[in-house]
Structures are given as structure tokens and as C-alpha cells.
Amino acid sequence: MKILKFGSASTESPERITALKKIVENQDGQVVVVVPALKGIPEKLMQLCHLASSRDRDFFKVYNEVEGMHLDFISALFQGPKATEILNRINGYLKELSNIVNGIYLLGDITFKIQDKVLSFGGLMSSLIVREVIEGSELLDVRNLIKTNSDFGAARVNFAVTNRQIKFRFKNMAKIAVIPGFIGSNDRNETTTLGRGGTDYTASIFAAALDAGRLEIFTDVDGFMTADPKKVRKAFAIKSLSYAEAIELSHFGAEVVYTPTIQPVYLKNIEIHIKNILNPQAEGTVIAQVDKHRSDKLIKGISSIDDVSLVTLQGSGMVGPTDITGRLFDLLTRHNINIILITQASSEYSITFAFNPQDTELAIPLLEKEFEAEIKQRNELKILVEKELSVIAIVGEQMKNTPGISANLFSSLGRNGISVIATAQGSSELNISVVIKKESLKKALNVIHEGFFLSHIKELHLYLMGTGTVGKQLLEQIRLQKNKLLEEHKLNINVIGISNSRQMLMVQDGIDLENYAVQIEKQGERADMDLFLQKMRYLNYRNSIFVDCSASEKVAATYRDILLSFISVVTANKIACSSSYQLYKELKNIALEKKVKFMYETNVGAGLPIISTLNDLIRSGDKIISLEAVLSGTLNFILNTLSETTKFSDAVKMAREKGYSEPDPRTDLSGTDVIRKLLILARESGYQLEKEKIKVDPFLPDDVFKGSLDDFWKTVQKHDAGFETRRKQVSAKNRKLRYVASLNKGKASIGLQEIDSLHPAFLLDDSNNIIIIQTERYRDQPMVIKGYGAGAAVTAAGVFADIIRVANV
């Protein structure tokens, strides 16, 4: 004997019912098929009740939709006289339904008893259709078999009578019996319903009564999942669960199995197999007394309840031996208020309950009345209510006596800026439950799932601002390296958002870097930085990184809020770190406080490891005495390019064409870029330096920097002759011109210098940078870092390296 229960996915379309038929007909031995209403019908029947009792004539429209759905199924599944016969029988039910709903409309009122009657028609009609599809099957009226009390809406089963009725009826049973789920009847044969998940419960009742070999439940997923696949894309099917684990996961929101379903089969030690009607060959999940496939994972699954409220009873009246707790539980029991979670402070000063929002609205006035004297007269208690919350539970029998589970849970949440409002854990250590803000639910589920199930893979979510030369190079480098990082380093990088000055694009599952430019053009929207950041925060993905490859002051001004949102920042934009010392320090402190990263290695030296080296020296106890550096790859390229045949203005144009200079070369020629870099280096070296304290010796007059960019190109040519004269003078002395930035015991200066052949910067080629670091440890032989200091490719590589550093912390 086998019980097959089919979920709403099986009645979503005529094609699904045909698939159901194939599954049933392939079974060996006797089979009981438990079917739900056609998908969507229960909601429409409930809507009918509401509209008719409100005397809203729109109920006619909903009734016609109910009728139409059933007629459409019949016309798709049956032909000729058989279709007519089934249609006549369905019309009998529809006529009865119409009479009841019209009566509700005339009265303008409805009772739970009548509501149960209306809701029963869904299963009665669908089971009739399924019975006719499965040839040789027998249709049973489940109301004659499952007997309940008269608690309409959530009736309790009288198991003694029910089991006797089922056993007697199945003494001479056809090979295949079809029954509707969800309904029963009381001792007066009035229709009752079994409450939420009643179709699952029906199947379990029959399995236990008939001592079935197994209960198979067909859904639209491959079994019990490690988490809700609608919220966690990387959730996967669990091979097996114990009854206790399944009950815990179901209680906390996993909708694969209705919690009471497990009780009847648990008592008879009957296995439950969760299968996918769309993929019946899949292994699915086995629920049994003992876990049949012991996993190496510490937890089995994660479940959640989306919307709860916390109600706390707090005050001195709770402390010591009082009757308050007893009165509290008695009150909730008498009014059938379901408690989702309980937690109490060890001081006994407070006790907290989690309810669904509807029960909260019912509970508050009852509590206020029950404890009126303690609240208003003796001032011993107060009631606190928190709304818009969610509960998450991690479940697994292997958690017992295993250290580190709680640490993993809370650190996963904390690293991603998710605060835990309340927590509870039973002495059985079967589950740990946390209450968080509802807005953080999806992110929380993903970080917990990653921490327990995907700890071997780290996933980063990038939001790129700026698709100039550096931004484009970065995207290309990520594209080329993506698979290697995943395979060899278990690091998966997803670019979720890209924005330039004209358009922006955000794709929740990640942008295809093979053709992102085409995607932006076709699917993108007008660039709006505020909207871009708003969407980034709304998605609230774990391990999110905002990457700034722009040179925008407006973008740099957003770092503070981004870091406060628990999102790391990786930037090639020097503006934030070279503005006021107060802001620089504030950004670093926020990152430290929120446990996110603020990375800006490429602010100085492009891809050269300059800032990280300074940090390592200082963290290890060394002290920076002085720095001497050529920090402008642009200016070094220009000075190296000057010759008898290459004028100064031509060298500037060449630097811009090669991508070495800023879009406006005056930023480089004015020394502004080097000032920013030296300021950042000074601060990283431990000096609280402001820009105004840097001594700058300009090598071009003010007129070069006035007017438009077009004016600049005309004006700069006037200085070609002067530069050629100086070049000859320097060359005659076997020296070279270098634009040098210096820091000595906190005093900073910048200017054009002549250096001889003994200086480390003498042979500095092309756009290379060099920094000479003298410290207490490197006093006699200073540390030298030298290499490419400009160019889109090396800068992008530096940004990429910073992104990977975020993943490695």
C-alpha cells in the first residue's frame, strides 16, 4: 500500500494532471491518490466568501472564473460523451456552490461552517476530474471517512472513528483510490476543513490508518531544500531528514510539508518521500525515524517565517516566584493564539514571544486587560511590541554538542551588518532561531546558507561606477579570470550593477561580461547615481562591494553612506582619501566599526603595492621617517619623452592619448594629482597632514590653467621653447628632470628637480613610478618600490587585487 499526495503544482494545468496520471499508473500494488483543488481555486473560493458576505457584486465575476477554470480543464482532458458526462457532474457542484454563495450575498454574512462548505468544492471537483483521467480508479468521498469535531476552519480529527472508518472502507478497495484532501465532516455529517496544509494531513491520516509502506508527497521542487529557493538561489535538495528535523523546519516556515502531517506517520514509523512532479526521477528527500544519509554538514536546513511581531512582557513583576507566566500561557491557550518562538532573560526580568501579525493584534488587548493591575496600578509590568520582523531557524541533529555553530551563525550575520534582535535555542540543540528585521531576511538567508553549505566558495557582488578606460579594463580582467578564480580559489565574482555617466544597468543574477556594453545600451536606464545606490542597498546582497573607477567628487561623497550600509568600497578615485583628514579618518573608522573594507591601493602608484607595504611596516611596529617619490606616471612619461624632436605640448598630448593622464591633463600638470597622492601617503605613514601644509613649487605659470580645455592646448604650446631650453641645460650636466614628492618627518613638498645618475629615479623609464621609503628598520638601505605607475591596465589590475583582498579577509 502506498499513499501518493499531489500538491497544487500537479493541478496547475491539464498537462500536469496528465503527468500525475503517468506517475500513478506506473505504481505497483494498491495506491491512494490524494489531490488538492485546481491551483488558484482555494484563493478564489475564499475571495468568493469575502465578496459575497460584503455584498460586493464582483463575486459574480469570481464565480465565473471558478466555473471557467474547471470547464477549461474538462475540455482539454476529455472528448465527446465522456466530456459531457463529466461536465454535467461538475455543473452539479457548481450549481450547489452558486446557491450557497447567493445565499451568503443575500444575508450579507457568513459563518465558518458555511465557509468550510464553500472551500470544500475545490477538492470535490478536482478529485472528480482526476478520477476520470486515471482509468480504473475509484473516487471516494473523504467526508465519510475522516471524522472531526466541529471547530470549523481548523477541525480536529477524531482518530479512533477515522481509523475505523478508513480500515473498514478499504477492506475491498480498488487498485487505485482517488480522494480529495483538506476536508472531513463532523458527527452530524457537516463538512469541515482541516486547516492550512490540510491536503498533506489527509494523506498522512490515510497512510497511518492503512499502515502504508510509504507516503509520497509530490511538489514543484526536488525535495526539502536547504533553504527557500525563491530567496536563496543556491539552495539544493536535502537527501534525508529525521522526523524531528522535518518538524522543526516546517514549524519555522518550510512549506514543503505541513507540520501536523508528520505526526500520524511518525507514530507508525512510515517514511515520507518528497518528490518533484516535474522531475519524478529525482532522488527527492526521505523523512524517517533515523537520518538515512548522514551528511558532513553541521546543519540540515534553514527555514524562515517572513513576517512576525515580538511581544515582550517586561518589569519587576516578572522576577521571582509569581503567577504571571502561568497566567500568560493560560491566556494565550484559551484564545488559541499560536506562539512561534519564546525567549526569556535569565534574570527573569522579561519574557518575549514571537507571533504572526494577526495573532499580535489579538494578543495585545488581551494582555493589557489580563495584567491591567500590574501595568497601570502597581507599575510592575509593561508591554513592548516590535513589528516588521522575521524569524530564521537553522536545524540539524548534528548540531548537538558541536562547538562553533552559534559562532558561525552570528558572525555570518554580523559581518554583513545584520543585527539579531532576539534568539532562542532549546536544550535539545536541534535548532537555533534568530529574529531579525524583515528587510534583511533575504540577505540573512543567503549569508547563513553560504556560511554553512557553501563555505568552500565565497561569492562577491560588485557594483561598478565608471566605465572609462580603467573600468573597461577591470571588467575585461574579471571576465578573463572569473572561471580560474572559481575553479582554483573558490571565489565567484558577480558584477550586479554597472553605471557610467549616461546609462546604468542592474541585473540581480549578474551581468554577462561577454556583452555588457550591448546589455547597457539595450536594457539600461538613464544614469542616476542616487537610484543606483538605492537599488544596491535594496538588493542587500551579502559580500557587496562598491567599486569606483570614476574621478567624480560626487561619487566619492557617497562612500560614508555606503560603508554605513555594510558595503565595502574599493576605489581608484583619490578624492575621498585626499580631502580633509577628518573625512579620511572617519571613512577608515566606519569600515573598521562595520567590519567592511575600504580599499584604495590604486590611489597611489596604480597597481604598485605601496599603500599595503606602508600599512604592513607600521602594523609590524616600524616607523616611517621619510619618503621620496616620483608619483606621477603622466609627468614622468612627459619628461622622459621630451627631446629635440618632441616638444613639451606634444608630449602632453601623447600622454593623454596613451591613457596615462587624466581626461584633463591640467590635473597632472598642476601637481594636483601628486598632491593628493603625497597627502594619502603621509596619512598612511601616520601623519595628520592637510593639503594646505604641502609646499608646492609649480613649474608652469597660472595662465596655463585658466579657461577651457581648448584654451589650454593653445596656451601650453607657448612654453615649448622654455622647456626645450631647460632640457638641454639639464642634459648637458648628465642629469634628468623628475617631478619629486618628498615627506620628511611630517613635512611635505613637491616640485621639479634635477637628479644625477646616482639617484634611484635616474633610470626611471616611460610612465614608471618609484618610491623610496626610509624607516627605522630601513634607515641605511631604504626600501625601493618601482614599476608602472600609470595606465588603465595596471590600475585596473590594482583595483582587481583590492577586490580579491576583500574576499580574503
Tens of pLDDT, residue by residue over 631-645, are 998 999 999 999 999
Residues 162 and 209: beta-carbon distance below 8 Å: yes
DSSP 760-806: TTTT--TTEEEEEEEESSSSSS-EEEEEE---HHHHHHHHHHHHHHH
CA distance 49 to 118: 8
The C-alpha R_g of the chain, in whole angstroms, comes to 36
All three cell numbers of 501: 555617466
Cell numbers placing 140: 471516494
Whether the CB-CB separation of 9 and 15 falls below 8 Å is answered with no
Give me the DSSP letters along 190-254: -EEE--TTHHHHHHHHHHHHTT-SEEEEEESSSSSBSS-TTT-TT--B-SEEEHHHHHHHHHTT-
Round to whole Å and give the CA distance between 793 and 477. 9
Helix 648-657 with 633-641: angle, nearest 10 deg: 130
First to last CA, the chain: 56
Q: Which three cell numbers stand for residue 646?
A: 618632441
- Cα–Cα separations (whole angstroms), residue 274 to 122, 282, 799: 23, 10, 47
608 alpha-carbon distance from chain centroid? 35
> CA distances (Å), 621 to each of 448, 576, 611, 615, 624, in order?
37, 27, 16, 10, 10
Cα 385 to Cα 360: distance, rounded to the nearest angstrom:
9
**Which residues lie closer than 8 Å to 606 by C-beta, 6 or more apart?**
633, 769, 788, 789, 790, 791, 794, 795, 798
**What are the tens digits of pLDDT across the range 3-25?**
999 988 889 999 999 999 999 98
Q: What is the DSSP string of 580-628?
A: -HHHHHHHHHHHHHHT--EE-GGGTTTTS--HHHHHHHHHTT--EEEEE
Can you tell me the distance from the alpha carbon of 776 to that of 487, in angstroms, rounded to the nearest whole number? 43
Rounded to whole angstroms, the Cα distance separating 392 from 370 reads: 31
What burial class does residue 83 get, using C-beta atoms within 10 Å of its C-beta: 0-12 exposed, 13-18 middle, 19+ buried? middle
How far apart CA 236 and CA 225 sit, in angstroms, is 5
- The per-residue DSSP string of 366-416 comes to HHHHHTHIIIIIS---EEEEEEEEEEEEEE-GGGTT-TTHHHHHHHHHHHT
Residue pair 675/696 in contact (Cβ under 8 Å)? The answer is yes
φ, ψ of residue 657 in degrees (nearest 5) = -65, -35
Reduce the DSSP state of residue 346 to 3 states and report it: coil
Torsion of CA 63, 64, 69, 71, to 10 degrees: 120
Specify the length of the chain in residues: 809
Distance, CA of 24 to CA of 218 (rounded, Å): 11
Distance, CA of 705 to CA of 449 (rounded, Å) = 56
pTM for the structure as a whole: 0.73
pLDDT for the residue numbered 321: 61
Instruction: Please report where in the chains the cell 514543484 appears, as a residue.
Output: 220
For residue 427, the model assigns a pLDDT of 64
Q: Active-site residue among 2, 147, 677, 786?
A: 677
Distances (CA, A) of 612 to 368, 676, 792: 60, 17, 20
784 DSSP β-pair partners: 772
Match 574579471 to its residue by C-alpha cell: 478
User: In terms of C-beta distances under 8 Å and separation of at least 24 residues, what long-range contacts does 472-479 make, across chains too?
Assistant: 472/792, 473/792, 473/793, 473/795, 473/796, 473/797, 474/547, 474/549, 474/796, 474/799, 474/800, 475/513, 475/516, 476/513, 476/796, 477/796, 477/797, 477/800, 478/513, 478/800, 479/513, 479/514
> Could you identify the residue written with the cell 591613457?
659
What's the pLDDT score for residue 662? Answer: 77
**Which among 401, 393, 458, 468 is positioned nearest to 432, based on CA atoms?**
393
Distance CA 242, CA 237 (A): 15
Segments of the chain with pLDDT less than 70: 291-296, 321, 346-347, 427, 454-455, 809
Q: Is 86 helix (H, G, I), strand (E, B) or coil?
A: helix
User: How far apart (Å, rounded) are the C-alpha atoms in residues 546 and 703?
Assistant: 38
- The partner residues of 806 in beta bridges, in order of sequence, read none
* Phi, psi for residue 313 in degrees, rounded to 5: -100, 120
Q: Cα 753–705–635 angle (5° rounding)? A: 35
| 70 in Cβ contact with 42 (< 8 Å) | no
Q: Look at the block and give the residue holding cell 507508525.
A: 268
Sheet holding 503-506, edge to edge: 525-526, 503-506, 491-499, 458-465, 544-548, 568-571, 598-599
User: 3-state DSSP call for residue 465?
Assistant: strand
Q: Which long-range contacts (CB under 8 A, 24 or more apart) does 48-56 make?
A: 48/101, 48/118, 49/101, 49/104, 49/110, 49/114, 49/115, 49/118, 49/119, 52/101, 52/102, 52/104, 52/105, 52/110, 53/104, 53/105, 53/107, 53/108, 53/109, 53/110, 54/108, 55/105, 55/108
Residue 658 known to be catalytic = no
